Amino acid sequence: MKIKNSKDNIKLAGLLPVMLGATLLLIVLRCLQLTRYIDSTTGFLTGGSFLNVLFYAIIALTCIFFAVVSFLSVDGGKVELTGLKDKYAGIGCAVFAASLIYDFMDSFIDGLAICTELPFETYRNGAELAKALMATGALPYVLQALFALLSALYVIILAKSFIKGSGHAHNRKLLAAAPIAWASFKLITRFIKQISYIKVSDLFLELIMISFMIMFFIALSQVVSGVYSDDSRWRITALGFGGALISFIVSVPRFVFTVFASDFVNKEYPFSFDDAMFGIFALLVALAAVKSVKKEA
């Protein structure tokens, strides 16, 4: 008996209200965490066990809800992004591409700065140099910068495809893998520091967010390129709404406190332009996926 995309009475349109409600609630809880239960100098949790459990439980349950609805709904199997005309998705792509260009410059400068701090003797030994470049994060940052630039190019092509309703992005199968590589190297840079990845709340949320990024980009590349797309259509809404949710609860409180109360923001985990723009991009692409089902109907 087929379960996947078999329920006609479950609609993807119901995902957006849940997404908006959960995002608002979680942003409020996150702001409360940052002001009362997180040490802004170290990033470690200092209390509020019940609030922390509630916070992560809501995230988990909401993301599971997105996945279950997308997987079971008949609409989830009808999602089609190739040749879809949606100006809002195109705008989402454009702002995300701009953030990727910024990340290219920022990551390249970070990688270059680390390289200049390495002892001169390190450059005389190839094996030691490779080890140092990886251990210090210089190489991951440079590769993140490279793939950020390639990703920006792909997302710009995707923006044009959405705005014109063309299939230009469909023919860029190799370039479609660039955002996956970008997010993967972004994830690697988070593992450079020897620290508790669970007790540092900011870092833990970033790891979850980037994991969603990687899975969303894989699904997006498959659906847009037509490679195993039938198995991945439902993941666009499941991972798009989930990724946007986590992006917003990471980025919005940081932005607000950066502007109005910077003492509550850990300097190691500042507001990130590309993280915030990913949330907008993922949300608008997921909404375009929902609308594509309505157009087909």
Q: What is the mean pLDDT of residues 9-24?
A: 94
Task: Decide if pLDDT at 158 tops 90.
Answer: yes
Q: Please state the separation of Cα 248 from the chain's center in Å.
A: 10
Residues 6+ apart with CB under 8 A from 140: 111, 134, 185, 188, 189, 192
**Could you give phi then psi for residue 153, rounded to 5 degrees?**
-60, -45
Least confident segment among 5-19, 51-65, 115-129, 183-197: 115-129
Count CB atoms within 10 A of the CB of residue 113: 11
Q: Which long-range contacts (CB under 8 A, 24 or more apart) does 226-234 make?
A: 226/82, 226/170, 227/173, 230/77, 233/76, 233/77, 233/78, 233/79, 233/80, 233/289, 234/4, 234/5, 234/70, 234/71, 234/73, 234/76, 234/77, 234/79
The average confidence (pLDDT) of the chain is 89
Task: Specify the pLDDT at position 208.
Answer: 95
Task: Give 201-254 pLDDT, tens digit per residue.
Answer: 888 899 999 999 999 999 999 999 888 888 889 999 999 999 999 999 999 999
Q: Tell me the whole-structure pTM to 2 decimals.
A: 0.92
Q: Which residue has the higher pLDDT, 123 or 293?
A: 293
Residue 275 predicted with pLDDT over 90: yes
Q: What is the pLDDT of residue 123?
A: 60
Burial of 297 (0-12, 13-18, 19+ CB in 10 A): exposed
Average of per-residue pLDDT across 252-263? 93
In whole angstroms, give the CA distance from residue 285 to residue 162.
9
